[in-house]
Amino acid sequence: MTHIITSSLFFVLLTGMNAGAAEHQHMSHEAMQTADVVKTMQWTDGEVKKVDHKKGKVTLHHAEIVGVMPAMTMAYRLKDAAVLKSLHTGDKVNFVLEKQDDAYLVTHIRRVK
């Protein structure tokens, strides 16, 4: 009888340890995803060079985005094309890019003084 209780207790402990390990592994994966999101949520300084309402794009000259791309001038689509109405050539902005498929999308943009 003692052997059965000991075996049962061992099984319960082992099962709990495996569940804990799986939870730890899952949490680590979530932490990695969060780190990726934080990395992509990098605010960058830029200047609006052109607003193309027809194509739903804004051309920005921007500083280096560390670990992503060098300083350059490039046209980007916006997550919310309605924001284009508030942007004008010459505006100084801060913005966030997010990679989607093979292109970058401006997910956040704000004018700065």
Q: What does the DSSP assignment read for 66-96?
A: TTTB-SEEEEEEESSGGGGGG--TT-EEEEE
pLDDT at 2: 52
Helices (H) and strands (E) in the chain, counts: 1, 5
pLDDT at 79: 94
0.75 exceeded by pTM: no
pLDDT at 113: 84
| Per-residue pLDDT band at 9 (split at 50, 70, 90) | very low
- Specify the CATH number of the domain 44-112: 2.40.50.320
Q: In the predicted model, is pLDDT for residue 25 greater than 50?
A: no
Q: Where are the domains of the chain?
A: 1-40, 44-112
Average pLDDT over residues 6-20: 49
